Amino acid sequence: MYFDVFNGDADGICALIQLRLDQPLTAKLITGIKRDIQLLDKFTVSSGDHITVLDISLQKNSAKVNEFLSQGAHIFYVDHHQPGDIPNHPHLKALINTDSAICTSLLVNQYLNGKYPLWAITAAFGDNINHSAEQLAAFLNLSQTDIETLKDLGIYINYNGYGSCIDDLHFAPDKLYKEMAEFQSPFDFIKYNHEIFEQLKQGYEEDMANAQRIEPEYQSNAVAVFILPDTAWARRVNGVFGNFLANLNPNRAHAVITHNKDNDYQVGVRAPLSNKTGADELCSAFPTGGGRKAAAGINHLPGDQLNIFIKKFEDFYS
């Protein structure tokens, strides 16, 4: 049996699109909201099963990876988050690079020798790795109009992955993947599945308009902290609003905080674009934190630790 396990954001979806365009097969799709990264807990395997894992932390799933390998499964793992110790096993093939200029879809693009680079560009824009996206677009001699179209699509797909549960999203990530997977090019998806594109665009624009009316809870020269209201739109816009703020003020670190249903907080951190380091280190200091150097988060921050987080955030980037 085959399993395709992927993050529900632009990077995970676009990485899988590339792989399945090149290597078509029928697989059980395992995904979820962007922050739902312990996806290997959602299924069981048998000897001889093949598992593709895209854009979720190996470190957060190491126990299941080792368990599946011991049960005789074969795993192909592609990611750009901190991996921890990578198992040395003949049935594990791992393509992992934590460089802040790399995302999973760019790694897949390299692995496939550039067969579907437009999907990789889309994903890189979605992950706010704009320089890498623009470099690849320049190599392909794309027009500025086409570049902006791919950037918009990447942002919209990424936006759709955020929320505290699937019901917060416009489209469940597996459904959105299926709507896009048949198209060789993102431009074909936009042309022939325009209704989906327009729904994402409208939702993004409405939610971002709401977010931009929020004043910072705390702000200094080094950092800014925004606390969004306890609404579905706020949970959806969490990540893309953080990217927007990072692009708007590239020398400042940003934290966007939303309310969880467990009466605690979810935190998204963006390192300054001028110094894309440390977000993973900062967030990993909290029990449910992790991510990558430029962008990381804390899934559950107790309410009584909010001021502690803000102080650590300020101290870290000052």
Q: Is residue 213 part of a domain?
A: no
Domain of 288: which CATH number? 3.10.310.30
Domain assignment present for 212: no
CB distance 290 to 82 below 8 Å: yes
Q: In this structure, are 196 and 232 located in the same domain?
A: no
Answer with the one of 157, 174, 202 that is the final residue of a domain.
202
- Quote the pLDDT of residue 261: 77
User: Do 104 and 224 belong together in one domain?
Assistant: no
Same domain as 168, residue 57: yes
DSSP for 166-199 reads GGGSSS-HHHHHHHHTT-SSHHHHHHHSHHHHHH
Burial (Cβ within 10 Å: 0-12, 13-18, ≥19) of residue 24: exposed
> Does a structural domain hold residue 172?
yes
pLDDT of residue 205: 97
Instruction: Say how far apart CA 154 and CA 145 lie, in whole Å.
Output: 14
In the prediction, which pLDDT does 200 show?
97
49-69: pLDDT as tens digits? 999 999 999 999 999 999 999
Q: Residue 184: what pLDDT?
A: 97
Q: Which CA distances in Å does 33 have to 96, 154, 302?
A: 22, 16, 21
Compute how many other C-beta atoms are within 10 angstroms of the C-beta atom of residue 304: 8
Same domain assignment for residues 157 and 238: no
Write down the pLDDT at residue 126.
96
- In a domain, residue 195? The reply is yes
Among 107, 102, 55, CA closest to 276: 102
Q: Tokens in use for 16?
A: 């899988």
Same domain membership, residue 248 and residue 167: no
Same domain for 313 and 193: no
Do 95 and 142 lie in a common domain?
A: yes
Distance in angstroms (rounded) separating the CA atoms of residues 270 and 272: 6
Is 125 inside a domain boundary? Answer: yes
Q: Residue 65 contacts by C-beta under 8 Å, 6 or more apart in sequence?
A: 40, 53, 58, 75, 77, 87, 92
210 lies in a domain? no
Same domain, 167 and 284: no
**Domain membership flag for residue 208:** no
- Name the domain boundary from 172, 202, 232: 202
Supply the pTM of this predicted model.
Answer: 0.90
CATH number of the domain that residue 26 is part of: 3.90.1640
Q: What is the domain extent for residue 269?
A: 218-317
In a shared domain, residues 153 and 196:
yes
Is 243:273 a contact under the CB 8 Å cutoff? no
Q: Please tell me whether residue 138 adopts helix, strand or coil conformation.
A: helix
pLDDT for 82 equals 86
Do 18 and 160 share a structural domain? yes
Q: Are strands 2-6 and 289-291 parallel, antiparallel or unpaired?
A: unpaired
Residue 164 sits at the vertex; the CA angle it makes with 254 and 297, to the nearest 5 degrees, is 30
Q: Does the residue 71 lie in any domain?
A: yes
Three-state SS for 62? helix
**Residue 208 neighbours by CB distance under 10 Å:** 17
Number of domains in the chain: 2
**Are residues 7 and 138 located together in one domain of the fold?**
yes
Q: Which residues of the chain have pLDDT under 50?
A: none
196 and 230 share a domain?
A: no
- Listed residues 202, 237, 264: the one ending a domain: 202
